[in-house]
């Protein structure tokens, strides 16, 4: 049932030219250089270490690897981090 609803939402966003991330509650990740990252539409922080941050989202977990992480902003569904980023990995829903 949920897949059918998501397909309808996706079709609607395409036909009305609306952003998919907003309509489908998908994570939106914006990386600026190798130092700043903003994640919108997340479901919470699972792990926060100096060299790894793992975040829950509708499509599964997202892990960010690097070092010297610090939270610049955490509010609502938005998270802003600073550090030196090495990689971003989608682990998907299982």
* DSSP type of residue 41: S
pLDDT at 94 over 60: no
Read off the pLDDT band of 26 (50, 70, 90). Answer: confident
Residue 13's pLDDT is 60
3-class DSSP state for residue 56? strand
Confidence (pTM): 0.75
Average pLDDT over residues 24-50: 91
Kindly tell me if the per-residue pLDDT of 29 is higher than 80: yes
How confident is the model at residue 32, as a pLDDT?
Answer: 94
- Residue with the bigger pLDDT between 6 and 68: it is 68
Share of the chain above pLDDT 70, in %: 80
Q: Domains of the chain by range and CATH?
A: 26-92 (2.60.40.2000)
Higher pLDDT, 46 or 16: 46
44: helix, strand or coil? strand
| Residue 40 structure tokens | 């919108």
With a CB cutoff of 8 Å and minimum separation 6, the contacts of 60 are 90, 91, 92, 93, 94
């Amino acid at each position: 049932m949920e897949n059918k609803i998501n397909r309808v939402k996706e079709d609607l966003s395409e036909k009305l030219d609306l952003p998919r991330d907003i309509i489908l509650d998908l994570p939106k990740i914006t990386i600026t250089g190798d130092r700043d990252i903003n994640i919108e539409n997340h479901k919470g922080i699972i792990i926060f270490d100096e060299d790894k941050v793992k975040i829950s989202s509708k499509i599964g977990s997202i892990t960010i690897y690097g070092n010297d992480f610090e939270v610049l902003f955490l509010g609502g569904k938005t998270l802003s981090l600073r550090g030196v980023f090495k990689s971003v990995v989608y682990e998907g829903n299982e």
